[in-house]
Structure 1
Amino acid sequence: MKIDYLQALKRIDEARGAWILHGQEPLLEQNLVDAFRQSWTKQDIERQRFDINNVSEWKNVFNALNSLSLFSQNLAIEVHGNIKPDANSLKLLKSYIQHNEHNLLVIIMPKQDSSSLKSAFFQTVEANGVVVSLTANYPKERQQILAVEAQKLGIQLEQDAWVWLEQHHEHNLLAAKNSLMRVADTFPNESTIQISHLLECLQDQSRYSTFDLSDAMLSGNLSQAIKTFQYLIASGEPYSLILWTISKEMRLLMQLFEQPQNALQLGIWKTKVNLYQQALRRLNPQHFLTWPQLLLRIDAAIKGKSQENPEHLIQQCIAELCGRRLFGT
């Protein structure tokens, strides 16, 4: 079964079997994962997490699903990664779906292309479980999602304020949510937010944005990129949004290197194709191999799952995108 983000939110408490969450909207992923964890805590469901770095690690997931601890009746397992099960693991997945209806397997993946969505893995889960696309392609969808966030904060926006907010953040839901939080904090006695409130609250935050950071990195201007990054941190921009911006640019550059004729199909704006092409000419493709692991380290540092400093790692990433290396291999 395929459902969207808002439908998924309503099914959290009764979720069982196998679910796949895939997409490129960090706000939607973050909200759903948080909702799952809160539900598991409320229901006293044991939770385990696996990060899949190679296909052989899938067997650890299914071994865990079939072996509860002495203190648990139900188990929820989070799997993070972009590696699909092989044929042997797919058999284990089918067996789990058929025979273990009380546990829950939630697989969190980045955006998938059309061929991946037609794979046996996705087809198996879609036929026997739930596949959630973490996308919001239309203004109405984005406004519905953000309206839920506004409601949590005890505010609502006038219609023209919604339009302004979306244009201001160029469809970036996570950035828009952060702006809602700022405006709610700035005007605690206002329940209805107008454009004037947004302007007063956000205009002092608009000196630099994550879009300026992207432009500086793609241009290879390391000093400007670091300056922009430091401004964003000082103005309260969350590390997760900055990581999303960096990972998006890294992914697009790696995809463009593999498909140099498909810039527009990859989602690169026509006015910025030349900027990406210049960046590729400046960068060493061999360094691309180290980027996914570096992004995983940043994610772990942000979530407190490692002792590394996320700010230092992000600066390392910025340098990589500018064609510079802060440290040797």
Structure 2
Amino acid sequence: MKLDYPQALKRVDEARGAWIMYGQEPLLEQNLLDAFRQSWHKQEIERQRYDINNVSDWKNVFNALNSLSLFSNQLAIEVHGNIKPDANGIKQLKSYIQHNEQNLLLVVMPKQDSSSLKSSFFQVVDANGITVPLTANYPQDRQRILGIEADKLGIKLANDAWQWLEQHHEHNLLAAKNSLMRVSDTFADVDIIQIDHLYSCLQDQSRYTTYDLNDALLAGNLAQAIKIFQYLIASGEPMSLILWSISKEMRLLMQLFEQPQNALQLGIWKNKVSLYQQALRRLNPNNFLTWPSLLLRIDASIKGLGKENPEHLVLQAITSMCGQMLFESPTA
């Protein structure tokens, strides 16, 4: 069964069996995971997390699902990664779903292409469990999701203020949520938030945004990019938002390199196509090969996995996008 994000939020407390949530909206992933973890804590359900780096790691997941500790009646296994189980793993998955109705397997994956969604792994879960695409492709979907965030904060926005908020953040839900938090703090006594409230609040509190960082990266302006990054860190911008912003630009540049005639189809705004084209002419395509693994390392460090410093890794990404190296090789 497929559920959208709001439907999934309502089913968190009763979730059992197998769930897959997948997509590239960090706000939706963050909110759903928070809701699950709070629910497990409230119900005293034991939680374990596994990161899948290769197919064999799935053995640990299924072994855990079939063995409870002495102090638990229920178990929630949280799995992160983009590697699906092999044929033997699919067999174990089917057995788990058929015979273990109390535990929960929650798999968190990035955005999937159409062929991946047709794989036996997704088909088994879709037929016997729950799949949740973490997407918000239409304005009404994004406004509904942000409306939930506004309700949590106890604020209401005028209709044209919603439109302004979405245009200002270019569909970035996590950035829009942060703006709602700012305007809620600044205009706590206002009944209906208008465009003027949003504009004055965001202008006062955000000298730089992640969009300014993106512009500096596309222009190859390393000094300005580092300055903006340091400002964002100092002003409390979530590292997950900064990573989302950088990864989006890296992904677009790599896609445009492969499909130079499809800029608009890739989602690049018409007035920024020339910036991406200039960036591609400046960059060495060999650098693209290092970007996916670097993004994974940044994501892991933000989640507290490993010993690398996320700010140092982001600086590596920034310098690479500007066509430079953070550390020069020593000369003989």
Normalising by structure 2, we get a TM-score of: 0.91
Partner Cα distance (1:50, 1:308) in 2: 19
SS in 2 for 1:293: helix
Q: 1:220 to 1:96 in 2, by over 3 A?
A: same
1:290-301 superposed matches below 5 A: 290-301=290-301
1:199 and 2:199 aligned: yes
For 2:147, the equivalent position in structure 1 comes to 147
The Cα of 1:307 is off from its aligned counterpart by: 4.2
For 2:16, the equivalent position in structure 1 comes to 16
Partner Cα distance (1:2, 1:111) in 2: 15
Q: Deviations over 1:142-196 (max 9, x none)?
A: 1111111111111111222212211111111101110111111112323432222
1:268 and 2:268 aligned: yes
1:58-207 superposed matches below 5 A: 58-207=58-207
Partner Cα distance (1:53, 1:325) in 2: 28
For 1:303, the equivalent position in structure 2 comes to 303
Partner Cα distance (1:125, 1:255) in 2: 30
SS in 1 for 2:85: coil
Partner Cα distance (1:327, 1:76) in 2: 43
The Cα of 1:12 is off from its aligned counterpart by: 0.1
Normalising by structure 1, we get a TM-score of: 0.92
Partner Cα distance (2:135, 2:272) in 1: 23
- Mean CA deviation greater in 225-234 or 1-10: 225-234
Q: 1:309 to 1:273 in 2, by over 3 A?
A: same
The Cα of 1:40 is off from its aligned counterpart by: 0.5
Which ranges of 4 or more aligned residues in structure 1 deviate by more than 6 Å? none
Partner Cα distance (2:196, 2:279) in 1: 39
Q: Which stretches in structure 1 are left out of the alignment for 5+ residues?
A: none
% identical aligned pairs? 78
Q: Deviations over 1:215-237 (max 9, x none)?
A: 22123221121122122223332
Q: 1:261 to 1:54 in 2, by over 3 A?
A: farther
Q: Which stretches in structure 2 are left out of the alignment for 5+ residues?
A: none
SS in 1 for 2:50: strand
Contact 1:226 1:315 in 2 (8 A): yes
- Mean CA deviation greater in 232-241 or 265-274: 265-274
Contact 1:154 1:191 in 2 (8 A): no
Partner Cα distance (2:205, 2:284) in 1: 34
1:219 and 2:219 aligned: yes
